[in-house]
Amino acid sequence: MPSGRTHDRITLYALPLVAGVTLWQSRSSNVTLLVAGGFLFGGLMFGPDLDIYSLQYQRWGFLRWIWLPYQRSLRHRSFLSHGPIIGTTLRVLYLSCLLAVLALFVLLIVAKLWNLTFTWQDVGENVGRSLTNYSTEFLALFLGLELGAMSHSLSDWSGSAYKRFQKQGIRGLLPSSKPKKRKATSRPSRRSKPRISKSRTKQ
């Protein structure tokens, strides 16, 4: 498995390619900026290795404690952390829930200090309106995060596959078949059979 520094180099080397392809396909500088920014953030700080004490985890600084429940809930390199789409989706939902709780807490404090009145329906409508009006931007950002995470996961899988190929050859790349379980057989009793003494008969 590549080291954290190797993952960083892969992310930085691939960034111009991702930005160039995005600009070529979208013809939009805003979309390109969001995809490239998401790719950089996803590769350096928001990747699959947040499920362990990794370089990505350490880069969160004094905020890295927020990922402790995430680490304790997932096994390293599981499908929920390293899987395509689902890994990024789970991390986005996890971080969004934390930010939502923080935003509501700040909103309640501001409302108390400045005597503001609001309803939860208004908050929900504003959030829904923002998601609808900026759906393209959110999709571009998510795409960048996913590409950054996938560059990390693909380098892990390719590195592991190369090591297996070096050790086992082409068989290391094939799916391994699980050994069949042997059925339990009853062992013969070790008790010695009673000896039958043959007595000589006189004729």
Give pLDDT, residue 180: 46
Amino acid at the residue 98: L
User: What was the pLDDT predicted at 60?
Assistant: 96
CB 149 within 8 A of CB 88: yes
Residue 191 domain flag: no
How far is CA 138 from its chain centroid? 20
Tell me what the mean pLDDT of segment 166-189 comes to: 53
pLDDT at position 153, please?
Answer: 76
- Average pLDDT on 48-76 reads 93
Q: Which residue range is the domain that position 81 belongs to?
A: 4-173
Q: Does residue 173 surpass a pLDDT of 80? A: no
Length of the chain: 203
CA dihedral 6, 166, 176, 149 (to 10 degrees): 10
Q: What percent of the chain has pLDDT over 70?
A: 74
User: Which pair of tokens denotes residue 157?
Assistant: 């899988």
Q: Where are the alpha helices (DSSP H) in the chain?
A: 4-26, 29-44, 55-58, 68-73, 79-82, 86-114, 120-133, 135-168
Specify if 200 maps to a domain: no
**Least-confidence region, from 8-17, 95-104, 124-133:** 124-133
Give, in order, the Cα–Cα distances in Å from 20 to each of 47, 90, 138: 22, 28, 19
Span 134-162, pLDDT tens digits:
999 999 999 999 999 998 778 766 656 55
The answer to whether residue 203 sits within a structural domain is: no
Is 195 domain-assigned? Answer: no
Mean pLDDT across the stretch 4-16?
87
User: What pLDDT does residue 110 have?
Assistant: 83
Task: Supply the pTM of this predicted model.
Answer: 0.75
Phi-psi region of 57 (alpha: psi -120 to 50; beta: other; left: phi over 0): alpha
* pLDDT of res. 44: 93
* Residue 190 covered by a domain: no
| Coil vs helix vs strand at 190 | coil
Cα distances (Å, whole numbers) of residue 169 to 83, 154, 162: 26, 20, 9
> Is a pLDDT exceeding 90 seen at residue 168?
no
Mean pLDDT of the chain: 81
Task: Establish if 197 belongs to a structural domain.
Answer: no
Q: What confidence category does residue 175 fall into, taking pLDDT thresholds of 50, 70 and 90?
A: low
Task: Kindly state whether residue 103 falls inside one of the protein's structural domains.
Answer: yes
Averaged pLDDT, 44-58 = 92
- For 57, the token pair is 């985890």
In 3D, which of 110, 118, 96, 3 has the Cα closest to residue 46? 96
Query: Alpha-carbon distance 200 to 203, whole Å?
Result: 9
CA angle 8, 9, 12 (to 5 degrees): 85
Instruction: Examine residue 156 and state whether it is found in any structural domain, yes or no.
Output: yes
Number of domains comprising the chain: 1
